[in-house]
Structures are given as C-alpha cells and as structure tokens.
Amino acid sequence: MIKAIIARNLAVIAVSISLVMIPLTAHADNDVFDRAEQMLAAWNITDARQAIDEYAAGAEDTPRHQYLEGRYAFYTGDYEKAKKLLSQAVDGESHPRWEQLRDIVESTMEVTEGYERHVSPSGNFEIFVEPGRDEILVPFALEALEKAYDNLGDELGHRPDHPVRVEIYPRESVLADVSALTKQNIRTSGTIALCQYNRLMITSPRAVLRGYSWVDTLIHEYVHLLINQRTVETVPIWMHEGLAKFLERQWRGDDEEMIEASSEHLLERRLEDDDLIPFEAMHPSMALLPSQEDAAVAFAQVYTTMEYLRRELGQGAFSQLLDTVDEGYEAREAYAKVLGTEWDRFENFEWRNYLHERSRPELPDDEESVYEERLIFDDEAAQAGNELDDVEIPEAREHLQLGQMFQVRDRFGAAAVQYQKAQELMGDENPILQTRMAKSFTLSGDPEEAIAALQTVKELHPSYIYTWVELGRAYIAAGNYHAAREALREAARINPFNPEIHQKLVRATDELGEDSELEEARRAAELVQ
C-alpha cells in the first residue's frame, strides 16, 4: 500500500518590481522546486539532493528551502533534523501538508526512539526495531530482502542506490501514528504494512492473533519501493498492487507466485455476481476500501492482470511494461500497448474471459466448507471466539469437537477417527480440520499419514501457521530433519513468537549438526520464552 505525501506549492508570489526579470527568475525557481518535489516523491535521493542544492543557490534558508531539506532529512532517516527544519518552514510559511508531514515526523521520532539498527551483510538494508522480542524478526527479514534485492532487481530493472530503511512496529496502532492512515483504515481493510516516506513500514506479527505472512508482506512493500523509484510516481495503485502481489513470493525461487485459496474463492464469487471492484475505486489506496473482503478481491483482481501479462509475454513482461510507462504512456495505455490491444477490449473482454478460463485451485462446491483467511488482531481475540466456530457445517463441527476432546485426553487414535468423519463431510481443504488430524496421526505414531494429510492445505492456505507447525512435528517424528527445519522456518515467517516453533527448530538443527545455525536457533528460542 503505497502513499507518498506530495506537497505541491501552487502559491502565487506577489512582486511589485521588475515585471520582466523577477517573474522569470521566480518561474525558474518554481521549476527547480517542483523538480526537487518530484524526485523526493519518487524517493530518488541522489537527484533530489542535486535539485535541492540547485534551489538553495537562489533561495537558501527560505521556508520552501527548509521544507525541502526537512523532507529530504526525513526520507534519509535523520528525524531530528527533519523536525527542526519542517518546524522552521511551517513557522515561516504555513501549508497544511507541510504541517501534516512535520506531525508525522514528530510521531515517528517518538515511536522509534530507542530502536536498534540492524544492517544486512551487503549493507543494502537497515532494519530498525524495538529491542526485545521483535528482534527475532530480523534474520528472517534480512534473508528475504537480500534474495529479493537481486531477484527483483533483475525482474524490474532497478536496484536502490541507497540503503533501504525498514521499520518494524509492535502494533498496528503505531503504524497509524506514523502514517496518514487511521487505525480504522487499518482494521477495516486489513492493511498492516506500508511503503511510504522512502522506507518499508511493517507491523510485527505479534499484533495478530495467529500471525500473518509478514515476510512476504515485507517483500510486497519492497516491490512498491522499486516501482516508485523506477517510474517517478507514474504508476497507479492498481498496477502497483498487481505487480507487488504477483512478485511478493518470488524471492523464494521460481514458480512461487500465487494468491491464496480464500481470495480465489472470493474472486470467483464476485465474478459470478458481476460485482468486481472497479479499478478506479482502488485509488488512492487499497487501505481505503470498505472491508477486508473488498480489499482481498481487489488484490486478487490486480494479481490476475499481471498473471495474464506474464502468461502472454513471458519473462521480462514487467520490465517491458514499466519501460513503456517511462516512455510517457498512461498506465492503462501502456499495459494495452505491450499486449498489442486496447484497454477497453482488454478490461471488458480479454481479461474477463481469462478470469473465467484461468486455472484455479479445486475448492469445495459447498460454500460452507470453504475456509476464508482473515486478519484477527490480538485485542480482537475474545470477540473472535473459538476457531471451531468457523466450521459452518454443524455435524462436521461436532466431530471436530469430539476429536479435540479425545486429543486432550491423549486418545489420539479415537481423535483421528472423529476427524476422518469430519473430512468425509468437508473434504481435505480445510486447514482447521487437517492440522488437528495431522497432530493426532503424529502423536499416535504415524507421521507419514500426518504429512499426507497436510499436502493439500499447505498449497491452498500457506499462511495458516499450524499447517507448518504440524508439518515440522511430523517431519521430526519421521526423522526428516531437513524438511522439518524448512517447515518450521516457514511457520516463523508467519508467527515466530510461538515458542514451540523454536524449540523444534533447535531439535531439527541439532540433529543436522549445523553448529552456526544451532546457535541462532537457540538465541531465537530464548527471545520468545
């Protein structure tokens, strides 16, 4: 979700002398000021610095110069200097957007005071995080960011020329404090991270009841940064989000792009009802859509536009698209041009036909059997109720409740029987059922059956954390420690604050005899005790 504050100063400067020379000079200054603003909006720090210096030559220490310097200081991480300069600028020439930026700088200073800085081995990324438990996120974040630097640099034809700043906030309310979003925007749309002010801003997964795919979300925001820097803010929200959604998992390797089954289901339902989200309604931010469902459908829609483009043009499609935007074409015109069609034809015929024809996961025909992902913030846990309440088939829910009762009493064989009865009613696509069944199989001494029970849901619902926890448990029981470590690391990319994940990671890493990783696993286990 990318939003940049662009303060366009349209003030008319009143002058009473030299009607020829002074207006020409003022006009030139305005051009340089606008260029500096444009470079700052695009987070092109090198060119912004050059333009600001050029502007200062004729207007040093004026409010507009102080504003530019303050904004530059904020975007390069010098918050104290930014606050001072923006305060001076506002005192000299009041503008609502200048004041808003100053207030955000002050909030950011207050929030990040005492944060510790962690630098990636390459120096390409700097992560700022509150000392303590959230430090457990750093190695997982840096692993993905470093892989994405080259992978996405090749894909999009751009690599940042300055270290990328990442800030991790303990709660979603803090994200609201340091941005133009409100807490209600965040709760309503499920927005939990931003790319704004030349940095990646993300909420710790401990703010969410079961965590969320925070590593992929971080890379999603990094894609936004690359696009913004590369195209100087000429790409609209729908294209931004389509590229970011399609590429957020690419750091893992080939063929990792996907949207989750619950979003596929929502998209299919909205398509049947002819109730898709208009592209125009996605502006200026997905975070302003009226519900988490609308946001999920919008993301699925824009994802499919990029899926279609990649299918038609192959590797290099996205760089070609951005090149065409750089040539001055409006985004929809550029998209249609690289496909060799017209936008209206694409949107109304080619794309909609593709939505009907494209391959999608096999989901239950029964609406009640479909599991839908949703973010539940930690302080909403009481209202969320028991997870079994999400199982909408009464008879299946009864079998699940019986299975859980047997499982608590260590009667794992009896529990598995009840879960299998529920599966006959629901199929094998519901992760709530399959993870409970897998645990019973593992604890009754049949880990291979547990692994088999989780194969479908790990593909359909990869952000459901207990799938990966139970896979880790089963692989350890089966003696497959490499697979166990990978499953448990995937669980940590969703919610690393579950102590069981790290206890099992220590076990798997110890069995593999990898001393350097064992030390890191033990340190992580200590952080979340």
Q: What is the pLDDT of residues 172-199, one digit of tens each?
A: 999 999 998 888 888 887 889 999 999 9
pLDDT for res 10 = 24
Type of residue found at 184: Q
- pTM for this model (two decimals): 0.90
Check residue 513 and give its pLDDT: 93
Q: What angle do CA 307, 310, 316 make, to 5 degrees?
A: 145
pLDDT at 384: 65
Residue-level pLDDT at 382: 62
Backbone torsions φ then ψ of 125, nearest 5 degrees: -135, 145
- Pairwise CA distance, residues 324 & 322, whole Å: 5
The tens digit of pLDDT for each residue in 427-461 reads: 999 999 999 999 999 999 999 999 999 999 999 89
Radius of gyration of the chain (CA): 26
Q: By percentage, how much of the chain surpasses pLDDT 90?
A: 76
Enter the CATH code of domain 114-233. Answer: 3.40.30.160
Task: Name the region of 94 (left: φ>0; alpha: ψ -120 to 50; beta: rest).
Answer: beta
Model pLDDT for residues 373-384, shown as the tens digit of each residue: 778 888 776 666
Beta bridge partners of 203: 169
The domain made up of 21-104 is a member of CATH 1.25.40? yes
Question: Identity (one letter) of the amino acid at 339?
Answer: L
Q: What is the pLDDT of residue 287?
A: 81
Determine the residue type at 404: Q
User: 490 burial class (0-12, 13-18, 19+ CB within 10 angstroms)?
Assistant: buried
pLDDT at 404: 94
Which of 3.10.450.200, 1.25.40.10, 1.10.287.310, 3.40.50.261 is the CATH number of 390-527?
1.25.40.10
Compute the distance between CA of residue 16 and CA of residue 2 in angstroms, rounded to an integer.
Answer: 43
Q: pLDDT value at position 6?
A: 28
Residue 305's SS3 state is: helix
**pLDDT at position 255:** 57
| Binned average pLDDT, 10 residues per bin, the chain of 529 residues | 32 27 50 95 95 93 96 98 98 94 97 97 97 96 97 95 96 92 83 94 94 96 96 91 95 77 89 93 88 91 96 94 95 96 96 92 67 79 74 92 95 96 93 96 97 95 95 98 97 96 96 90 90
